[in-house]
Every structure is written in C-alpha cells, then in structure tokens.
Amino acid sequence: MRTTHDSLTNHLRSLEALNENTDHMQMVTLIISKFPNELREHLELHKEEGKKWSQKLVLDMINKYIKSKEAADIKQTALDQDEIQNDDEAFTHSTTEAIVSHSSTKRGGYRG
C-alpha cells in the first residue's frame, strides 16, 4: 500500500506541475480504486459526514491509515521476536536441565 500511495502522489505532483487539474471526483474515485477494500471501508467509516471528498483529504487519510498499519506491523514483529527469543531461552534451559539430570542419573547423582 505504501508503494501505491507514494507512486500515486508522485504522478499527481507531475500532473500538477503540468498545470493539470487533479482535484476532481473522477481523480478521487481513481485514487480510492487503487487500494484494497479494507482501506476503502476505513475511508468511508472515518469520513466526516457532509464533508466532500477531495484529493488531499483522501491522500491524507490513506497516508494515516498506512502509517498506523506500518506501526502495528512493527510492534507485532517485535512481539513475535520476543516470543521466539523467550521460547529459545525456555528450550535451552529445559535442554540443559535434561542433560544435567540425565548425566546425574548415570553417575548416581549430581555432585555439583
């Protein structure tokens, strides 16, 4: 989604540099159509009632949505990594205990 947003923004800037009017409903509809349904639903839910869509409004809302998704993904990745690290530590600890207890039984007890 980030790439689509950035690409659309760059194209729109290029059109504006050529003095093309890009702030009309057909452009807004085109912009919205480039994104998944989940984001379209988000736009509809968070649009202020009675407020007219504009290119700037839609792009700003899309950018905020993408930033929040990216932040959530970063947090989830960090949580997943912590969980993997905790699992690895638990596995290492239990493996060490198993080795020590197995060695102890063979020798008649641990003499630490």
Nearest Cα to Cα of residue 63 among 22, 17, 4: 4
Report DSSP letters for 6-18, one per residue: HHHHHHHHHHHHT
State pLDDT tens for residues 53-66: 999 999 999 999 99
Task: Report whether 59 contacts 9 (CB < 8 A).
Answer: yes
pLDDT digits (tens, 9 = 90+) for 44-93: 998 888 888 999 999 999 999 999 999 988 877 777 776 766 665 655 65
pTM: 0.64
